[in-house]
Amino acid sequence: MSKASSRSSTIIGSALPTIPWEDKPNGCKDVVWRYSGNPVIPRDLNPMSNSIFNSAVVPYKGAFAGVFRCDDKRRFMQLHVGFSKDGYSWQIDPERIHFVSNDKDPAVLHWEYGYDPRVGWIEDRFYVTWCNGYHGPTIGMGWTKDFKTFHKMENSLLPFNRNGVLFPRKIGGKYLMLNRPSDNGHTPFGDIFISQSPDMVHWGCHRWVMRPNGGWQSTKVGAGPIPIETKHGWLMIYHGVLTSCNGFVYSAGAALLDIDRPWKVMYRTAPYIMSPQAPYELAGDVPNVAFPCAALTDAPTGRMAMYYGCADTVTGLCFCQVDELIDYVKKNSKV
| 20 phi and psi angles, rounded to 5 deg | -60, 140
Verify binding: residue 291, ligand BMA, rule CB under 6 A. yes
Binder of ligand BMA out of 309, 310, 318, 329 (CB under 6 A): 309
| 106 phi and psi angles, rounded to 5 deg | -60, -20
Residue by residue, DSSP assigns 48-82 as: TEEEEEEEEEEEETTEEEEEEEEEETT--EEEEEE
Tell which positions 118-157 bind ligand BMA, by CB under 6 A: none
Q: How many Å apart are CA 103 and CA 94, to the nearest integer? A: 27
Q: Give the three-class secondary structure for 330.
A: helix
- Nearer Cβ to ligand BMA, position 240 or 309? 309
Residue 259 CB, shortest distance to ligand BMA, in Å, is: 29
The residue at minimum Cβ distance from ligand BMA is: 286
Q: How many Å apart are CA 162 and CA 155, to the nearest integer? A: 12
Q: Which stretch binds ligand BMA (CB under 6 A): 42-50, 260-268, 285-293, 317-325?
A: 285-293
Q: How many Å apart are CA 242 and CA 235, to the nearest integer? A: 22
Residue 316 CB, shortest distance to ligand BMA, in Å, is: 12
- Give just the sign of the alpha carbon dihedral 84, 87, 91, 94: positive
Verify binding: residue 240, ligand BMA, rule CB under 6 A. no
Verify binding: residue 229, ligand BMA, rule CB under 6 A. no
**Residue span 6-25 as binding mask against ligand BMA, x where in contact by CB under 6 A, dash where not:** --------------------
Residue 132 CB, shortest distance to ligand BMA, in Å, is: 13
Residue 308 CB, shortest distance to ligand BMA, in Å, is: 10
Q: How many Å apart are CA 248 and CA 197, to the nearest integer? A: 33
Binder of ligand BMA out of 57, 289, 295, 326 (CB under 6 A): 289
**β partners of residue 294:** 307
Verify binding: residue 286, ligand BMA, rule CB under 6 A. yes
Verify binding: residue 319, ligand BMA, rule CB under 6 A. no
Tell which positions 25-84 bind ligand BMA, by CB under 6 A: 54
Residue 250 CB, shortest distance to ligand BMA, in Å, is: 6
Binder of ligand BMA out of 229, 281, 298, 312 (CB under 6 A): 312
Q: Give the three-class secondary structure for 92.
A: strand
What are the residue ranges of helices labelled H in the chain? 106-109, 279-282, 322-331
Q: How many Å apart are CA 128 and CA 66, to the nearest integer? A: 10
Closest CA to 56 of 295, 228, 299: 295
- Nearer Cβ to ligand BMA, position 120 or 309? 309
| Site of interaction with ligand BMA (CB under 6 A) | 54, 115-116, 186, 250, 286, 289, 291, 309, 312
